[in-house]
Structure 1
Amino acid sequence: MPRVRPSLAVAAQLLCALLLSPTASALNMNDEASKGFGRSYGFVYGQRLSLEYIDRVFPELHQQVQLAGLNFSAKFPRLEERLEKAMASIGKPAALRSKLDPMLAKQIEGITRQQATDFLELVNDRAAGKIPSPELEFILAAQYEETPAREFVNGFRQSYSATGHPKAKGLRLDMQMPKSWKGEEGYRPNIVRKWTSANGTGMETILLLVKTIGGERVTKADVAESLRNGEVKAMIPEGGTFIAAKAVTVEGQPAFVVEYDSAQDRAGIDLAMRAEMYGIFYGDYFISLQCMAGATKGDARKAASGYTGVKPLCQQVANSIVLPSRY
């Protein structure tokens, strides 16, 4: 890994985090989110200023500077613009840049040609997705805010295995999630894992639940009958509003998917939720993948908008499920 002057790599994001005073919500801009997006904005803005400085001071590196910038922009198109949008609730980006510019100028000034070429190599590495955490996660959250399934499709993924987890009850299951979604242990019974968008700060959540069921093995015909007689509707939370349901197949197993609206109270805050649940039957197991988008109760449209992006992602995640015991 090339040695790069620390100011080029980290100064901008550190300064940006220090200058921010968090307020309320775009991309659920709580304190942790504002700092994360702030650091990532400084990361990208500082990179652009550094490339411009190198281009001015070392004109012989112009072609390499242009190539590095184009490589990064091709991987993360309109990223700075997207981060500015995410930052809109914290403060005007222009005002923030006016504070950053003189500080960054002092940090960048005087770098050597070797440091400049090392930095260009670093930018090319970043274009390949080699960006440290948590900057990468917040960059991905901003880049794919409206189309989270594209993050998954474009290869920014993390792998998870429930094999050996006590709540998995002996089930062997592997799956993949988008890189920017933060995974945590499920606190409630049967919830094996919980993932939250925007590195754990967002309003979209995916849950993995595993239960054991007795009786005969559930078939595709059984699922079809449950849809006809309305039994699937009973699986949505109390007070929820049924929207639609259909039979599907996941990893070769009989399954259904049901879509619904619900209202929840979280720590005294009323939330409007739109959700989709995959119910998968495998031997003695019932596997549930629940994908939810939420907003404050007075902003149900925001929940519906968030769900529009989460729904295709939920399908991608469901299709990533592998049950090794089948093979």
Structure 2
Amino acid sequence: MKPLLTLIFTLSLGISATTAQNVSWPSRLNEAYAFVLGQNMSLEAIIEKIPELAPSAGKASAAFDSSPYAKGFAGVRSTIEDELGEGYTAYEKNMAKMMSEAVSTQKFTEAAATTFISEIEARARGNMDAEVKRTLLATHPDFAGNPEAEMKQGFRQRFPAKGSPQATKAGFSVTFPASWRPWTQNDQYSLGLFRSQAGTGPIICNVMLNEIKAPSGQIATENDLKWLLQEENLKSILPAEATFISSEPTKLGGAPAAIMSFEQLSPRGDFRVRSTQFMTMDGNKLQSLLFFFRVVGEPEKSLDQMEKENLPTYQLIADTFTRSK
């Protein structure tokens, strides 16, 4: 079993696992700003043009204003203002002009207005465009940089979803903050990836599964797992281009596991990747959470310091690892 374990596990740690989608944070902020501003202006137009709907429109507006997403919108505005500095006033005026022109062209019938008001009430409960929702949560003043607070208030997502084919295949699930953006990539060992700050943040997690096809129906034993988790064996299964940093024992879902830290240089040498991988086994299923961040050039902080600052977030998510019953 050991040689087979080594081969399969080495394949799972290639630099391909660091492929990430390029999503613009400014575009996400702009999208969320326009979404909520347009919503508010549309409600104002309904109140002006169809006075009999004013009470229900006002109720919907109040519901949204008291929701966490309104605080997120305040965070969006604050973040844009910080980015633009003196240019924020011009941005605000231009956006107001654009959205006002767009709203003025809308022909609100009473039926359409009533439907829109119901939609705003649904948005207050979190039923809205997924990208906008993630951005509003990522900029919420209580959640920005504090994934624990976000998850404690119920804004979280379970992966794989309970009852899904992926959940049956993986044999485990894990929880992420709702503001983290999921996506998939063409990698036979990756179940799915999640990236912080609505898909634009520094932390990425690759949820991974290697199903080991052992000869003669062999099943990995507890001794195989103990062998794998020894530091000298973790070192030996890293790809040649990876540099081992450290490892230590831990638990995942109550089972023996290891945390391994290592570093890789991209094939073109234009960025470095610092990875922290939590791994365990369940029979012949090698299960792991590969957290990583990328650095271009020479950052102000050392990679060790950056990894240390990220570790509480890694551990928060790893602690939600649950094996399927």
| Same fold? TM cut 0.5 | yes
Counterpart position of 1:249: 251
Deviation string 1:93-142 (CA, Å, 9 cap, x unpaired) is: 33222112223223445867876665554333212111113322333343
Aligned residues of 1:86 and 1:142 also touching (Cα < 8 A)? no
Q: Select which of 102, 127, 142 maps to 2:139.
A: 142
Pair 309,156 (structure 1): closer, same or farther in 2 beyond 3 Å: farther
- Seq. identity, %: 16
Aligned residues of 2:271 and 2:294 also touching (Cα < 8 A)? no
Counterpart position of 1:15: none
| Distance in 1 of aligned mates of 2:322 and 2:100 | 51
Pair 268,319 (structure 1): closer, same or farther in 2 beyond 3 Å: same
Pair 102,63 (structure 1): closer, same or farther in 2 beyond 3 Å: closer
Aligned residues of 2:29 and 2:76 also touching (Cα < 8 A)? no
TM superposition shift of 1:287: 1.5
Counterpart position of 1:282: 282
Asked if 1:293 corresponds to 2:287, the answer is no
The SS at the match of 1:98 is helix
Q: Select which of 104, 108, 126 maps to 2:123.
A: 126
The two structures, once aligned, show a CA RMSD in angstroms of 4.4
Where in structure 2 are the equivalents of 1:91-170 lying within 5 Å? 92-109=87-104, 119-143=116-140, 144-153=143-152, 154-160=154-160
Q: TM-score, normalised by structure 2?
A: 0.67
Counterpart position of 2:205: 206
Where in structure 2 are the equivalents of 1:217-232 lying within 5 Å? 217-218=221-222, 222=226, 226=230, 230-232=232-234
Q: TM-score, normalised by structure 1?
A: 0.66
Greater CA deviation, 55-64 or 175-184? 55-64
| Distance in 1 of aligned mates of 2:158 and 2:255 | 24
What letter is aligned with 1:137? R
TM superposition shift of 1:278: 0.7
Where in structure 2 are the equivalents of 1:1-327 lying within 5 Å? 32-50=24-42, 61=55, 64=59, 67-72=62-67, 74-82=68-76, 84-85=78-79, 92-109=87-104, 119-143=116-140, 144-153=143-152, 154-160=154-160, 171-179=170-178, 180-187=180-187, 190-211=189-210, 212=212, 217-218=221-222, 222=226, 226=230, 230-232=232-234, 238-240=241-243, 242=245, 245-260=247-262, 262-265=263-266, 269-271=270-272, 273-299=273-299, 301=301, 310-324=310-324, 327=325
- Give structure 1 stretches of 5+ with no counterpart: 1-27
Aligned residues of 2:261 and 2:275 also touching (Cα < 8 A)? yes
